[in-house]
Structure 1
């Protein structure tokens, strides 16, 4: 991807989720109240899919997603479909790692004693697809020439393990180590990715909050207090990603979005990428890094000095957490600042080459959960249009 001279529309990514249209949102509310069944939402979800495709076409975005309208939360799709995983709707909070930022915050905000999760009670096997049906629905809703532009968002393999750790993720009679557990997960993910590719998918994005959590000084301090080797665990999670992406076709672009939390306009963790950048950029086997850079809690661009020449960084410089529009000239200046850091990095390269390794995006999705953030669809359109306008100024 980084070797291509991309046109401005392809320089702008939206991270994946889009605001649910009002009809679908209202039905979700009724479902929460027990007034409609989950299956009653199907027609509204199908209509929402057509709506978000047209929204992306009207804006002129280079890539198209399904907006995650068929999901209630971004991480749906994998673990509930895996053989060997037992769903636990009311797993005791004592079985979660309280140093994980979103676990701590949600328990404090909602006074929870339990949370829904999973436990690996048997050997992991992919016996049914994760996202194939959602991709087929998206593919069937676009013209054949648009299929190569489609992108699938995917729950990461680290999701359950980072919440429960090595001691409470899997039955030790089934898996003796994290390596064994992630080996089988990698087989399942590779099978999913292979089927998606055979259907025409050429863009996959893993949405992973895990890595930004390792940027949090508070989490690191609490892990150390509990005797957790955070450097070893970070390496374990890098290996988990690489098991999923290994031996992928050359024309399949896989990206990883590193999220700090995105629910109702709040975030879960803070801290720049300095703590993890060298290991992250040199070890994670993905083509594209989606990075959150919408405010000061994300740190500066200095970690980008480690970006290899064959990778792309998507700078999330517009926030999805409130409707305020950023200053376009300030955004343009930030992109050039990032390019200068990359150009002076390891190895050094020209600023033109560095700019060619950059794209821009909102810092996260507009609705990682169906309730969304405190922004409207019009706000969403204005923010995406702002990014497109800035991209034209920089890359045209």
Structure 2
């Protein structure tokens, strides 16, 4: 399936937050800056981010997730039924569900449509997968009766948001659940603590299972930021078959056996976006080594159904980026260079 709507020079959405945004958010949290003033600081930063992405000739733009504390915040900031615990999980503030989730406002649709008004390049919306939030936020004895029930409620909210995004002209949506890496690991301990693999698949399938959508809409899912050393091929086949997304967004920074197995398992009718540079390491990867890996990709997959990107967000948590803004820019230029070497100007 040659993809007419390629979005070939991609990234995961989160960008290094500018110092002025971080400072404004701190002042707002301390009651020293109003909501309108914070919004204006963020808006101006988004305008600059769009200008940077256009200058780098990316094929998608995001708002850098500048308005979010972390990549889950699109949901947690806009949906009732959650509370902070004061603890942390995966380096982020831990929230638990203590009621039935209900969307209080659009999750990202308003922001993404505003973003789309700044550029003719496709605006990309990024959301946490509902399975990820359900596994993280379920706590027995409070809120929904099970993690599956919580996940299904969140999936309905996310599906409605995707439908709203599509109706308002947004053509590319990415969901992320890095926890699938454990399910795909042949050496990992079996089972999950809150949400089983099968339940996670059902939840995410519900979220992306739109009754219909335009041919030029792409819904992607990132199931891992790092590939396991040995992939459970049965689990990978189950994942790819159960969740009906258009694009699988996979790590491919080393060409390891695990990365190659994840790529090889993607069904022929789906396209892939490969994370060819490491968003956590400042140094630039050897371009010849990347192109050698892309030769392997061409043997496994129709190269017309492939896109390239960094392997993960540059800043999944505000203020916790591994790279500087300039290092980030250089990484994005590296991705663009590889895309030009692979596809010329047919982007």
Shorter-chain TM-score bucket reads 0.7 to 0.9
TM-score (norm 1): 0.76
What's 1:369 paired with? Answer: 317
What's 2:135 paired with? Answer: 162
Q: Is the 8 A contact 1:205 1:254 kept in 2?
A: yes
Q: Which secondary structure state, in structure 2, belongs to the residue aligned with residue 394 of structure 1? A: helix
TM-score (norm 2): 0.86
Note if 1:242 corresponds to 2:205.
yes
Q: Is the 8 A contact 1:79 1:118 kept in 2?
A: no
Deviation at 1:214, TM superposition (A): 2.1
Of residues 118, 141, 164 in structure 1, which corresponds to 2:118? 141
For the residues of structure 1 that align with 2:287 and 2:330, how far apart are their CA atoms? Answer: 12
Deviation at 1:119, TM superposition (A): 1.3
Note if 1:4 corresponds to 2:3.
yes
For the residues of structure 1 that align with 2:164 and 2:5, how far apart are their CA atoms? Answer: 27
What's 1:88 paired with? Answer: 84
Note if 1:209 corresponds to 2:178.
yes
Deviation at 1:132, TM superposition (A): 2.0
Deviation at 1:391, TM superposition (A): 1.3
Residues 43 and 297 of structure 1: CA distance in aligned 2, closer, same or farther (over 3 Å)? farther
CA deviation profile, 1:161-202 (whole Å, cap 9, x unmatched): 222558467433xxxx55544433332222211221121111
CA deviation profile, 1:102-154 (whole Å, cap 9, x unmatched): x4x659xxxxxxx53021423x4334211122113213323xx44xx111001
Residues 387 and 168 of structure 1: CA distance in aligned 2, closer, same or farther (over 3 Å)? farther
Q: Which secondary structure state, in structure 2, belongs to the residue aligned with residue 315 of structure 1? A: strand
Q: Which secondary structure state, in structure 2, belongs to the residue aligned with residue 121 of structure 1? A: strand
For the residues of structure 2 that align with 1:168 and 1:295, how far apart are their CA atoms? Answer: 43
Unpaired runs of at least 5, structure 2: none
Instruction: Give the superposed CA RMSD.
Output: 3.0
Deviation at 1:332, TM superposition (A): 0.9
Of residues 126, 130, 152 in structure 2, which corresponds to 1:183? 152
Of residues 297, 304, 311 in structure 2, which corresponds to 1:356? 304
What's 2:236 paired with? Answer: 277
What's 1:79 paired with? Answer: 76
Residues 332 and 274 of structure 1: CA distance in aligned 2, closer, same or farther (over 3 Å)? farther
What's 2:125 paired with? Answer: 152
For the residues of structure 2 that align with 1:118 and 1:179, how far apart are their CA atoms? Answer: 14
Count of aligned pairs:
340
Q: Bigger radius of gyration, 1 or 2?
A: 1
Unpaired runs of at least 5, structure 1: 94-102, 108-114, 262-268, 343-353
For the residues of structure 2 that align with 1:5 and 1:195, how far apart are their CA atoms? Answer: 23
Q: Which secondary structure state, in structure 2, belongs to the residue aligned with residue 195 of structure 1? A: helix
